[in-house]
Amino acid sequence: MSNFADYRPDDSRQDPGTQVEVRPARVEDLDACARLIVTRTGGPAAERLERLRADLQHPDRYTVVACADGEVIGYGAVIHHELSPTDPPNTAPTGYYLIGLIVSPDWRRHGIGDLITIERMRWTAERADAIYYFANVANGAILDLHQRFGFTELTRDFTFPKAPLKPGTCALLRAELTSGR
């Protein structure tokens, strides 16, 4: 069993039936974000909350939420990764990375992941000409989502600091951005 959303490529997207707002996360959203994260990753929400608070203060990180009726229903972030001289040669390149796209199970298949991805790519386009993403190759739903936004696979032979990647199980992807800079 995986912690990924069920992959159903033939399911058509449904209208969520309510207004969905996608915006930068605020401090008051972080508890809900931490709870969403641990539904997929496990572990204590308090630990995630601490990291989310730090990310909110970091100028090279961007946390986005999707809300419906005032409730956080989705989360995603962007981080900037900088290569270190001590990194192995196959370390993922310096750049901005989409991370942690999670949508509440009741809100999947409504285009929420697309909305969060569009906002994260918009923010990054103000800072860079390209954006990266890596995902487990078994997560067909997330790979398809990113392919729709122009991501192409670069390699499966890479490492990323502090990410527990097993060789060959993840793909590193990249997309060109239309710069707003």
Q: Is residue 15 part of a domain?
A: no
Asked if 95 and 137 count as a contact pair (C-beta separation under 8 A), the reply is no
Residue 4: predicted pLDDT: 47
Q: Is residue 13 part of a domain?
A: no
Per-residue pLDDT of the chain (181 residues; tens, 9 = 90+): 345 445 455 554 555 567 999 999 999 999 999 999 998 888 889 889 999 999 999 999 999 999 999 999 999 999 999 999 999 999 999 999 999 899 998 898 889 999 999 999 999 999 999 999 999 999 888 899 999 999 999 999 999 988 877 878 899 999 999 865 5
Full residue range of the structural domain in which residue 136 is found: 20-84+93-176
Two tokens, residue 35: 């709870």
Q: Is residue 36 part of a domain?
A: yes
Q: Is residue 7 part of a domain?
A: no
- Number of domains present in the structure of the chain: 1
User: Read out DSSP for 111-153?
Assistant: SHHHHHHHHHHHHHHTT-SEEEEEEETT-HHHHHHHHHTT-EE
Q: Is residue 9 part of a domain?
A: no
pTM above 0.85, yes or no: yes
Asked if 123 and 61 count as a contact pair (C-beta separation under 8 A), the reply is no
Neighbours of 162 (CB within 10 A): 5
Q: Is residue 171 part of a domain?
A: yes
Q: What's the CA gap between 56 and 151, in Å, rounded?
A: 26
Residue 41: predicted pLDDT: 83
Q: Is residue 99 part of a domain?
A: yes
Residue 163: predicted pLDDT: 83
Name the residue with tokens 């001289």. Answer: 85
Two tokens, residue 113: 């992941």
Q: What's the CA gap between 107 and 158, in Å, rounded?
A: 32
* CATH code of 137's domain: 3.40.630.30
Q: Is residue 117 part of a domain?
A: yes
